[in-house]
Amino acid sequence: MSSRVSQNATKSPDPYELERLAEELAARELAGSNYTPRTTASTELPIYVPLSHDNPHLTAEVFNVEEFLLSRSHTSLQDLRSELRDYLTSLKEELVMLINDDYEAFISLSTDLRGEGSRLEKLKLPLDDLRKRISESRAGLQATQDSIQETLDARTKLREEKALLHLLLKISESVTRLESLLLISQVPTSSLESHNNNYQFHLPTSAGQPIDAKSQGNRAKHLSRVTAEYTQLLYHIEKAKEDHCAFVDEIRWRIDRIQSTLTSDLDHVFSAILSSLTDIKAGKVLDQERAKLYVDLTECLRIYDSLHLWKVAEEIMRRDVMQAFIKKTIFPDALDASLSPVLPHTPLPTALSTRTESHGSALLPRTPYTPFTAFATKQNPFEASHVSGPVHLLDESNDALAKLYNQILRFIERDFGRIMELAERVSLKAGSTNLQLTLALGNYDLGEAQQASAGGFEIMTNVVWAEIGRAIMDELGNVVFAPGNPNEFRKHHSTTQAFIRSLEFLAPSTHSVQNMRSHPVFTAFQRRWQLPVYFQLRWKEVITKLEETLSSRILDPEAPNFTPGRDVFVTAQAADVFTSIASCWSAEGYIPDLAHRFWKFTLQLLSRYREWLESSLPPAGGSPVKSAANITNEKASSIANISRSSTPGLTQEATTESTAADEILLRQFATALVDIRAMTSQVLQLWREEISKMLPDTSIEDDTAEVLEVALRTQLEQLSALSTSLCSQATSILSRRCCDALSPVRSIPSQFRAMSNKRLPSEPSYFTPTILRPVRIFFGIGAVGGPGERLKEELLKDVSTDVVECVCQRYIQYLTAMKKTEESLRRLKKGKKSTLSIFGSATAGKDDGKDEERIRAQMILDVKAFKTECEALGVDMQSLDSFMVLDQMVRAESVDGDL
């Protein structure tokens, strides 16, 4: 090592680094005390840190050997081993010192506890005496506590018995008071059988007859007070029954008698009030008296509601008022007999009666946007008072069933409108206290009517509709529900549904309407409508007429349209199909409950029309000439026996037949295209204006309307798919006919060479205006009555572009063939000129050059005229590559064989 340093020192020019030392000395003199000597990394020495308990590598949870060795990398392995041994020795010494210190403390502990046992024995002696005295004190206190508790229990029992006695006294006094209020005779015996035979009621013998208004009002108030007392009695009895009192069982027969008497009196008063309000024969009732009667009626309804006897009140209204009216109004011959008018309690003003008549429904509109609506109103009927406006009547002109329904509606509005409103108010007002009243009544038996009650008055459901629906089904079911005549059945159904809607608007709340629709009579009434039978009759009626029209498999555009004044469709078949679809959704045949059947039938009709088109049109891959000839044979018998030449090739007669066949095919295709497009647009318009609004309401989440529209558009797309094939076939025929008109192009060279007049042409060829004549004739351009005249706006440009493309390609083929022919002739002439002649050889060469120039000029005029004809049809000639190639070919210079 030292030898290497000495060698480096001898090799360097400054082995002792004198220059560096001189620089440091100068810098130290300049900097003074702030000087810090310059050090390099090579002069820094590692700091030695001995091993201790603070070393992070020794205190880590997991000892990492590699990290520890790296941290002591400046120490050799021998020095590290010595250092570790020294650290181990220090650890052992510390452990020994710790053990010695703890042992010394343990030994001193036993020395310190010496003599403590005797002192603990001295402290234990007085504890037994103390425990004995505490036990004696506790026993004395427990005896005193038990004595006090027995006294308190006895007092509590006496207090409860006293409260029970007070309760029994209240019950006895309440029973006595109720018997006194109800004028029930007091009987000494307590036998239930003996007292049931001795009921003496206070009601007069004229029960059920109208009574004096003043006494009637007093009786209603009196019964209200009795009911309050009776409700309190029931509450007390329920509390007494919890203690199993025999006294309650003893007076049970008296309570039953009170209940029977109370309900009997209440029924009599309620029936008398109803008779006074509904019996017009009793004479006019003044408004003031009527108001008092309604007050008494409200009091009776409140009593029924508090006793939960809703069914009893409904039964009285049904028996005394509703059944009598139904018996004299709805009977088997009710539709044939003249109905007596229902007179109002007070005459209506003239303006009001006029408004009533104006609310009758007129003839059904083309589109019933709100089916079964018998009136036009924007007001919520449940927010309006039932007495503030007239009843919504039906149109009864020439309709006996509507007259019957109107009579029922007038009766319901007159006699039950105000009663239903009052009953609804009573039920709503008492709704908050029903829980307390139920608790008060408990499980006390108030009769089967109370047990069967649903919890409130349902007059519209259980009184009005139950009787009306049952009577219509029993008495008029054979007439109203008979599906034999579809028109009459539809009329009866729409009238009845409008009557139900008007009846629902007389209901006091939407809850009453829901209960009415869920009533068993309503369910049975709706099931009586034989709607599937009606649909089958309508289906048979539509299909019979339609199949008779579709039996002809020939698309005959010349047949007169069976719908006068309607030129949307060309053929009678398409018009019949659309008429059948429209009849499904017309006001005269549509029923909302059959919407799903009519919708399916609509899709089936569209599918049937598509099938008829496919079977009536010639196949796309077949011979159109043959199909057209067959059609011609069916239409004209003179063409059926056309004689055919045995030699191959088309004769003049065959060419005429082919042209006639093409004309028929084009008329067929145009007719089908017009009808398909008209069918698509008309059905979509019918969907937007009528069908989408007539379908039953669906959930927003279901998106049923979107699904139905997608199904309809899918069916129409399948129908429209035929138009693509038809348009392609029509374009093919027009292209072929236009290309046939281009055939005279091939004779232009021979024509100019045979001409004696060698002047340049100034007009296009005679055949140029005839090239696109089939297209113009097809679309009715320059003529009247073209088969595709109604398709001009939609298909003229596209069809003309395809036809011009095909004609340009054929034109190019002809020019190419002519060019090859001319080149062959030119080579042949050059071969003949090898033998020189003194007769006019130069003149013949000049004439050939002039002929080619005239031919090229004629070609340019023809192509220019053809371009003008095409642009007149709306074709963009600049965008056609084939025409650009054609134009370049005819305008090319005559260089080495150009025309």
Instruction: Give pLDDT tens digits for 29-73.
Output: 777 655 555 554 445 566 777 888 888 888 888 888 888 888 888
Percent of the chain with pLDDT over 90: 9
Q: For the ranges 141-155, 183-197, 756-770, 791-805, which has the lowest average pLDDT?
A: 183-197
CB distance 375 to 392 below 8 Å: yes
Under the phi-then-psi rule, with left for phi > 0, alpha for psi from -120 to 50, and beta for the rest, what region is 32?
left
Instruction: Give the residue-averaged pLDDT of 310-316.
Output: 89
CB distance 414 to 342 below 8 Å: yes
Place of tokens 């003996």: 194
pLDDT at 284: 57
Report pLDDT digits (tens) over 469-522: 999 999 888 888 888 888 899 998 999 999 999 988 888 888 889 999 999 999
Cα 155 to Cα 563: distance, rounded to the nearest angstrom: 104
Cα 555 to Cα 615: distance, rounded to the nearest angstrom: 10
Cα 361 to Cα 373: distance, rounded to the nearest angstrom: 8
CB distance 464 to 507 below 8 Å: no
Instruction: Give the residue-averaged pLDDT of 782-798.
Output: 76
pTM over 0.85: no
pLDDT at 445: 45
pLDDT at 44: 57
Going by pLDDT thresholds of 50, 70 and 90, the confidence category of residue 1 is very low
The length of the chain is: 899
The first and second tokens of residue 307, run together, are 């006793």
Instruction: Give the residue-averaged pLDDT of 210-233.
Output: 73
pLDDT at 259: 83
Instruction: Give the residue-averaged pLDDT of 137-155.
Output: 92
The first and second tokens of residue 247, run together, are 């006294």
pLDDT at 847 over 80: no
Percent of the chain with pLDDT over 70: 73
Cα 324 to Cα 460: distance, rounded to the nearest angstrom: 17
Cα 309 to Cα 456: distance, rounded to the nearest angstrom: 9
Cα 513 to Cα 501: distance, rounded to the nearest angstrom: 10
Cα 137 to Cα 141: distance, rounded to the nearest angstrom: 6
Indicate the burial class of 517 (C-beta count within 10 angstroms; 0-12, 13-18, 19 or more).
middle
pLDDT at 447: 44
Q: Of 111-115, 242-246, 581-585, 816-820, where does the model show the most confidence?
A: 581-585
Of 717, 728, 739, 720, whose CA–CA distance to 620 is shortest?
Answer: 728
CB distance 195 to 189 below 8 Å: yes
pLDDT at 408 over 70: yes
Report pLDDT digits (tens) over 823-841: 887 778 776 655 444 444 4
Q: How many CA atoms lie within 13 A of 671 on its CB side?
A: 22
pLDDT at 364: 34
Report pLDDT digits (tens) over 94-107: 888 888 887 777 77
Q: How many Å separate Cα 602 from the centre of its chain? A: 21
Would you call 508 helix, strand, or coil by DSSP? Answer: coil
Going by pLDDT thresholds of 50, 70 and 90, the confidence category of residue 815 is confident
The first and second tokens of residue 361, run together, are 């429904």
Of 444, 458, 155, 108, whose CA–CA distance to 317 is shortest?
Answer: 458
pLDDT at 135: 92
Going by pLDDT thresholds of 50, 70 and 90, the confidence category of residue 146 is very high
To which H or E segment does residue 101 belong?
helix 77-112
pLDDT at 355: 35
Contacts of 535 (CB under 8 A, 6+ apart): 594, 597, 598
pLDDT at 142: 93
Please indicate whether residue 357 or residue 851 has the higher confidence score (pLDDT). Answer: 851
Longest pairwise C-alpha distance within the chain: 180
pLDDT at 634: 41
pLDDT at 387 over 70: no
To which H or E segment does residue 680 belong?
helix 652-686
Please indicate whether residue 194 or residue 607 has the higher confidence score (pLDDT). Answer: 607
